[in-house]
Amino acid sequence: MSGETITIPGKDGTFTGYLAKPSTGKGPGIVVIQEIFGVNKVMRDLCDWLAGEGYVALCPDLFWRIEPGIDITDRTEAEWKKAFDLFGKFDVDKGVKDIASTIATLRPLSTGKVGAVGYCLGGQLAYLTACHTDADASVGYYGVNIQNRLADAKGIKAPLMLHIAGKDEFVPPEAQEAVVAGLRDNSHVTIHRYPEMDHAFARPGGAHYDKATADEANDRTLKFFARHLG
């Protein structure tokens, strides 16, 4: 499976994204929302995996306003420093606008329905995508800082699934409980908790990768998208 780089017209300018299509060429769309490492091999591989499952997957470069084309790993201290620097400069709300533009770009390339899935920073953005865009379904893995944006939940009009890591080093227990309590009464929201997992348990090759749990979460994600995007 090999993808291509395409241009996405946004509200504030154009930016690029990695697009992967299924062998049939058509399918529902999924916006893959990056971690703090840019559109790197992990994100491209996720797009390719989703394309293999029958989806048209597009991962937009959300750091384009700061530095276009970020493609780093989680392997060195220097890359982590760069990633956190980018994270600190990143405007979440502009990122959500870029995701809305990505959804609009993806709809005509797909069968019409478009979902979103994000990880880490992208997990928060997937939550905000559910709150502020017309995505048909959204999934967030170990999203950071969602507890600070619970007022946005009133905008959720389509299904949202969140995967929460119980021992997430970036989301303390009180933040996790605030998210669960804040979304408990929202009928659109499904939350799965993984008590023994740390942040990024679903990132292949990552320090906290756990294949069995990642497979469980990914299976839930695929069934969720099949139900709501099919």
Answer yes or no: 199 catalytic.
yes
29-33 and 56-60 beta bridge pairing: parallel
CA distance 96 to 89: 15
Q: Considering 48, 74, 168, 198, which one is annotated as catalytic?
A: 168
What would the DSSP string read from start to end of the chain? ---EEEEEE-SSSEEEEEEE--TTS---EEEEEP-TTBS-HHHHHHHHHHHHTT-EEEEE-TTTTT-TT-B--SSSHHHHHHHHHHHHH--HHHHHHHHHHHHHHHGGGSSS-EEEEEETHHHHHHHHHHHHS--SEEEEES-SSGGGGGGGGGG--S-EEEEEETT-TTS-HHHHHHHHHHHTT-TTEEEEEETTPPTTTTSTTSTT--HHHHHHHHHHHHHHHHHHH-
Q: Considering 74, 163, 199, 210, which one is annotated as catalytic?
A: 199
Catalytic residues: 168, 199
